[in-house]
Amino acid sequence: MPLVDLYGHEELRALLARSVMAGRLPGSILLHGPRGVGKQRLALWLGQLLLCTGDNKPCGKCRSCEYSRNLTHPDLHWYFPRPRLKDPDPGLTDVVADYQDAIVERLANGGLYAAPPGNEAIYVATVRALVQQASLSPAMATKKVFVIGDAEQMAPREGNEESANAFLKLLEEPSAKTTLIMTSSEPGALLPTIRSRAVSVRVAPLPESSVRAFLADPRVSAALDEAGLPKSASERVALAAGAPGRLFGDESRGRSIIAARKLIDAALSPKESQRYAATLAIGSSGARGSFTDTLDAMLVLIGERMRSALHDSDDERALAASRAADAVGRARERASGNVNPQLITAQLLRELASSLS
For residues 38 and 41, what is the distance between their CA atoms, to the nearest angstrom? 5
Q: What is the pLDDT of residues 168-223, one digit of tens each?
A: 899 988 889 999 999 998 888 888 889 999 999 999 999 999 999 999 999 999 99
CATH of the domain spanning 10-202:
3.40.50.300
Would you state the pLDDT for residue 161? Answer: 66
Would you state the pLDDT for residue 277? Answer: 87
Domain positions in the chain are: 10-202, 250-356
Would you state the pLDDT for residue 308? Answer: 77
Stretches in the chain below the pLDDT threshold 50: 284-286, 288
Would you state the pLDDT for residue 233? Answer: 87
Q: What is the pLDDT of residues 276-315, one digit of tens each?
A: 888 888 864 445 457 887 888 888 788 878 877 887 888 8
Would you state the pLDDT for residue 286? Answer: 40
**What is the pTM for the complete model shown?**
0.76
